[in-house]
Amino acid sequence: MDADDSRAPKGSLRKFLEHLSGAGKAIGVLTSGGDAQGMNAAVRAVVRMGIYVGAKVYFIYEGYQGMVDGGSNIAEADWESVSSILQVGGTIIGSARCQAFRTREGRLKAACNLLQRGITNLCVIGGDGSLTGANLFRKEWSGLLEELARNGQIDKEAVQKYAYLNVVGMVGSIDNDFCGTDMTIGTDSALHRIIEVVDAIMTTAQSHQRTFVLEVMGRHCGYLALVSALACGADWVFLPESPPEEGWEEQMCVKLSENRARKKRLNIIIVAEGAIDTQNKPITSEKIKELVVTQLGYDTRVTILGHVQRGGTPSAFDRILASRMGVEAVIALLEATPDTPACVVSLNGNHAVRLPLMECVQMTQDVQKAMDERRFQDAVRLRGRSFAGNLNTYKRLAIKLPDDQIPKTNCNVAVINVGAPAAGMNAAVRSAVRVGIADGHRMLAIYDGFDGFAKGQIKEIGWTDVGGWTGQGGSILGTKRVLPGKYLEEIATQMRTHSINALLIIGGFEAYLGLLELSAAREKHEEFCVPMVMVPATVSNNVPGSDFSIGADTALNTITDAYKSACDMAEARGRHQELCIPLCVVPATISNNVPGTEISLGSDTGLNAVVETCDRIKQSASGTKRRVFIIETMGGYCGYLANMGGLAAGADAAYIFEEPFDIRDLQSNVEHLTEKMKTTIQRGLVLRNESCSENYTTDFIYQLYSEEGKGVFDCRKNVLGHMQQGGAPSPFDRNFGTKISARAMEWITAKLKEARGRGKKFTTDDSICVLGISKRNVIFQPVAELKKQTDFEHRIPKEQWWLKLRPLMKILAKYKASYDVSDSGQLEHVQPWSV
């Protein structure tokens, strides 16, 4: 926590940021094309990282137009000019389309304007058009310089000095239409907006039987439509890349009426703006509505989401993505040589990569070409792994074959939730049940965790039983923290009675411990010699074997939202008496060790009401005071939420157990905040993980800051309780839960196939696994192996990937920190996904 971080890992092979200097360099940053939430976070990261390494950073306002026009459109940025923009949607430096930049003449002017300020490093945040323009500009650079010299606008020296232009791109686009990147900046926030609307529509379903046709953005790319459909369990989805088969009109109506017959009150159809049929003819929302009304006579409404999708505050995911990529972009610029091609920094799985810009652009154009030429399978393949995977999962979960067409395996597969509830658990159960049924198994649900297991609370669960589960928070099956150890006998009996052939466990650290206990008990109880797999679901994100767990993303959003609402609340309190109650409804203490904790529905609804009230009141509240918010997060000993919440919300400090801190650190943090309050920055945010220190409690830190800040700032503290576990799951958690659990079920099916007819006993380590995401892969790891990687006392993995990002938060909050750049993105090549 100290200002000069000496505790960061050191190693001779590691390469640290200190070796890279930006002294004497000038970086220009611009946002271009359509705006997207999270662009501001990227701008903030570029500016602050640039300044941190000693470079000058210039805002280029209004995209390429500002570059062509020059003058006050190119202005040096300082630390404070990017304050308080992390949570703001859109882009503060403006974005525009620019005809002039498409001409050489325009680009000549732009080059001249850049040279006047010595800018030879460009960071472009935009879509494929903007990046293509940047690439062209870079290619022409030396020619432009010569022409400027010929015209006498620059001298020979300048031609030599500024001979190369380095270009790094970041893709900002809500459509996620750029090949080579798993997620573009803004996509996740757009999904949040869409899902908010779907959830709102769902609630009216109780009173009316209706069909909703929801049109989402995506003129050329169906990503938003596809993922929204996955996240809300839509009845049907129309995408440009994968048009429906001929005769779809009839098929769709049959599907809708079947769902109606199953007493579903609501049908949801999602349409991408650019949806087409196999003949490349547009399929419009109106056409779909007409069809449903004339064929089925259903009450049908069309909702076109439009610009709402670009609006609102960026999600935690987008802020973290954009912050990481902004920092990567600066590093890439510092490392660039005359031979490095213009590149895009992006994310592959959870791994930062650099890709040659033109390869990405080329492949993105190839997708369009494939669609134009009606090679739709190619289009899906070219979109990449994530897209193809989503499409596959959607198809498996939305379409049920008639029972007599599914070959039965005569296997019973049980699903159980273990540990504290985490948002996304229900999506995971739904997906497991449906994939299991499609694979021919009989699916059993175990209620109330291992406790219920021992007592025989086990029932068959069918396809329709899990309808509509995707968006529900908490755990519908019921979950408990109880471990199986003391019930081994009873559980073995139940396994036998119900002839359970495989087990899927969805849960957190207890689930992991439980799996270890079952594994150890295999020798004694042969009932446990069946394939078992766990998918991690916990807000703490502390399960060994996975970079992410289901539920952690929702919790992160709660943290960023809470800070926003706390700020709004603080501003509004002076003016509005009625606001002087609500924050106290948050539970004062939470212990991660309470058995069977459930979310109380009432308090969550109350909290939402508070947040909404805040948002409304915010508009009337203007004056700001110097104030520091101290927020306690959950996570047990695992600092993931505090650390990543800190990165997403722009915290000044995040106290976590993994990085011990002492009184000197606290002092330096307080002094840092005092300094900060002397500037135009008026707010501070400090996060504290609940178990970061036994003695430096949240109250202690609050009192220390209050005392030391006297006369400079005042403090507010807030303990984020179970709201972090509850509420509606974020789109990320819904999809992650859905996909990972489908994978787990496929694994179970494959294992059971191996065993068919041979009554095989599964005794080897590789038949009892945790399924997780590591860097860019989804992997199954035997619990026996993960054991070595676990700190059991503190219930965390010994190595945690996100600790590497910790210096980022510090650097962006103006601390000095040592940042390991040895695994910053290497230059790679774009590859289509081979199916």
| Residue in 761, 687, 709 with CA at minimum distance from that of residue 530 | 761
Question: What does the alpha-carbon distance between residue 280 and residue 282 come to, in Å, rounded to a whole number?
Answer: 6
Q: Which of 2, 35, 69, 175 is catalytic?
A: 175
Question: What does the alpha-carbon distance between residue 79 and residue 87 come to, in Å, rounded to a whole number?
Answer: 16
Question: What does the alpha-carbon distance between residue 790 and residue 794 come to, in Å, rounded to a whole number?
Answer: 9
Beta strands 166-171 and 343-348 are parallel
Beta strands 343-348 and 351-356 are antiparallel
Q: How far is the CB of 96 from ligand ADP (least distance, A)?
A: 7
Question: What does the alpha-carbon distance between residue 412 and residue 460 come to, in Å, rounded to a whole number?
Answer: 9
To the query of whether residue 561 is one of the catalytic residues in this protein, the response is no
Question: What does the alpha-carbon distance between residue 547 and residue 106 come to, in Å, rounded to a whole number?
Answer: 46
Question: What does the alpha-carbon distance between residue 412 and residue 495 come to, in Å, rounded to a whole number?
Answer: 10
Are the C-beta atoms of residues 370 and 379 closer than 8 Å to each other?
Answer: yes
Are the C-beta atoms of residues 172 and 126 closer than 8 Å to each other?
Answer: yes
Question: What does the alpha-carbon distance between residue 423 and residue 401 come to, in Å, rounded to a whole number?
Answer: 29
Question: What does the alpha-carbon distance between residue 449 and residue 357 come to, in Å, rounded to a whole number?
Answer: 49
CB atoms within 10 A of CB 695: 5
Tokens of 550: 């289901």
Tokens 């049907």, residue? 236
Q: What is the largest CA-CA distance in the chain?
A: 91
| Residue in 129, 113, 132 with CA at minimum distance from that of residue 58 | 113
Distances (CA, A) of 653 to 515, 632, 677, 806, 812: 36, 12, 15, 10, 11
Tokens of 600: 């109380």
Q: Is 520 exposed, middle or buried (0-12, 13-18, 19+ CB in 10 A)?
A: middle
Q: Which residues are annotated as a binding site for beta-D-fructose 2,6-bisphosphate?
A: 481, 589-593, 627, 634-636, 690, 716, 722-725, 795
Distances (CA, A) of 515 to 347, 425, 504: 32, 18, 10
Residues that bind ligand ADP (CB under 6 A): 32-34, 64, 97-98, 101-102, 126-130, 132-133, 136, 173, 202, 205, 233, 235, 259, 264, 266-268, 430, 464, 467-471
Are the C-beta atoms of residues 116 and 154 closer than 8 Å to each other?
Answer: no
Q: Which residues are annotated as a binding site for Mg(2+)?
A: 128
Q: How far is the CB of 181 from ligand ADP (least distance, A)?
A: 14
Are the C-beta atoms of residues 784 and 626 closer than 8 Å to each other?
Answer: no
Provide the annotated active-site residues: 175
